[in-house]
Amino acid sequence: MVVNVDLANARKAVSFPVEELTHFINGGPEKTVRRRWLRSLVDPQNDPIFSNIDQPFLSRDQYYILMIKRLKKMLQLKKLHNLQRDDWGYLIIFAMELSISTLHDLFFTPTLERQMSEEQSSKWLPLAKDYSILGCYLQTELGHGSNVRKLETTATYIHETDEFEIHSPTLTSIKWWPGALARTSTHGILFARLIIDKKDYGIHSFIVQLRDERHKPMPGIEIGDVGPKYGYNYNDNGFLRFTRVRIPRENMLMRFSKVSRNGHYSTPPHAKIIYDTLVSNRIGFLELSTLFLSKALTIAIRYSLVRKQGDDYKDLNNENLILDYQSQQYKLFSGLSLLYASFFNKIYMQKLYENYIKNIGKIDDNLMAEVHASSAGLKALCTDLVLEAIENARQSCGGHGYSQLSGIPNVLTYYAHLVSAEGENTIMYLQTGRYLLKSFLIAKKGSSIGGRLSHLSFYSKILMEKCAAETLDDLLDAETQLCAFRHMYLRLLSNLDTSIETSAATHPHGYNGSIADHMIDIVNLSRAYCHYTTLINSHERLQSVKKEQSAIYPILRALIDLYFINAVLNQFGDFLIDGYYTPHQISLLKQGQKKLLNIIRPEAIGLVDTWEFCDNNLISALGREDGNVYETLYEWVKMEPMNILERQGKTVGYEEGLKDILTGKYLKEIKEIEIGKVKPRL
């Protein structure tokens, strides 16, 4: 493989051990070896079914069928090598990015594991794990999404037959958007209102069979596809309407909530336990964020080390690599800082959630509230920023970034749905904000707050603080960074609390009405708090890196420092308004931003190569590992179907109409033109 000279030189200039960073990302050398072996299983050189070379030119149906064939092959590999859950997840990433079975693996099966009784699990889990049934997650409806409590589908208990009757009572109650529903799934986890003797017990989950042994919809079930989407079009997102469908009582997921034969309802220990899969999926979105952003940045940074543009002011006979422009560095290195900050968030939330699941049913309300609030806020902030960063990466590739052959539009449109999946981001911010307001009210009354909000007990002291840092190094001290965002978010929280209470005193709908009038402020508060949380997660992890993997610490620290500076400068007014920072300190941070771009520049290629994406996985002419961008673009466009027909002597559209236009025949075919015969419509 002949590697582009500029790209090869850039790799030689990297000062940190790229392999060590790869091990850190993967969780150790053994896991790196394991991942590389898994990737080899789906190498297209071993089996052409895994080749993505023609993926940009496939129709929706062709791509779906290819994914089904790949899934079949991968399930054979899974069985052959006895692959467990983590291995299977990586195999999907290497082979398919997002699989037809993703919702089965990430939503359906984990929900069965966590929400079913032992008796139910013994029946359903073996079927799900063997893929004898394929499942989806039936939550979102045509008229309701984020507001889960207002879902309309009903599950009414029928005493006489010991069954639930599932029904879609309105047009807006049709299940809408579930992935893998339209053609793939045989069963679904249904969220519906539990009705017993005309009493509504709220949203509960049920397992429902959707298709029979011939894969045809069950009686009373209407299933279809929701049509073309912004992206991820091979996935069969569908709609589902129930017309009085009966299911056994035992199909209600009964690990926590229960309904007995006589219709007696037993409440769960915590009302929000039913939503634990939502929390799990939000954390999964943090992992998907690092996956998609690392792909986009790999493409954009590799391309930026090949593409030359503009005269070199030092040598007018040469052009500059576009990564040598400060503006390009700012776009892409800001994305790098976000990538690694998101990675640290993912690590923290995974550990928090593992503790949550380990003790589910025994967890106190405070920890459950923290898990829900943290997962909601970080999901929102992360997906908002990552979507913007992927688009910045696309724009940084100039005109070629608009081509599907660049690979980034595919990344962008696949990722975009995450800002509204499992809760639209504004709603997620509002959940986190209300948690903060509630905790602040408790602290004001003198009660102690545990966990990460323990500092609320000293909020008045914190609000009096001013930053005393005199140099850039002082400003970038880890504790100083945390103090800055803690002070800023607490000031927003305190001011918001005062404003809401003042407004509530005269508001016709009291406190809740006042909350509704302050939604913009609540979102801003939540974003500030989530930046604070991100910095805590990052610096806590960096402390262990400094002790155990010191060779990669400096560059990771530089990235988090850049994340901090960007977060401050994007809302520096909130730090200046009460004098916490001085204008001089803001000026120092601006200087620091430029300094960090220079530090990161020679390390950039190592920071993306460390994620080890192969060319088949990137599906990008611009992001090729060898840097042969232009050769690849030229070869790939030859595979475009209309170009193939052209080489065969068939010009699409010529016989169908172009010929008549160009020869004037279309004029001769006009049989009659009479002015005024056809009166225009007014």
Provide the annotated binding site: 140, 179
How many angstroms separate the CA atoms of 514 and 497, rounded? 10
* The one catalytic residue among 422, 612, 625, 631: 422
CB 32 within 8 A of CB 17: no
DSSP of 183-200: TT-SEEEEEEEEEETTEE
Residues 6+ positions from 129 with CB-CB distance below 8 Å: 109
Q: Which residues are annotated as a binding site for FAD?
A: 140, 179
N-to-C CA span, the chain: 67
**Token pair of 96 as six digits:** 């398919």
Question: Which of 393, 7, 341, 417 shows the shortest CA–CA distance to 178?
Answer: 417
- How is residue 214 annotated by DSSP? T
Q: Is 391 in the active site? A: no
**Token pair of 20 as six digits:** 């060590």
Residue type, 56: P
- 420 three-class SS: coil
CB 163 within 8 A of CB 245: no
- 518 three-class SS: coil
**How far is the CA of 241 from the CAs of 176, 223, 668, in angstroms?**
9, 7, 53
Give the β-pairing of 154-158 and 187-196: parallel
CB 174 within 8 A of CB 145: no
> Count of alpha carbons within 13 Å of 112, Cβ hemisphere only?
29
C-alpha triplet 277, 286, 440: angle, nearest 5° = 75
Scanning 359-418, the segments in alpha helix (DSSP H) are 365-396, 408-415
Name the residues annotated as catalytic.
422
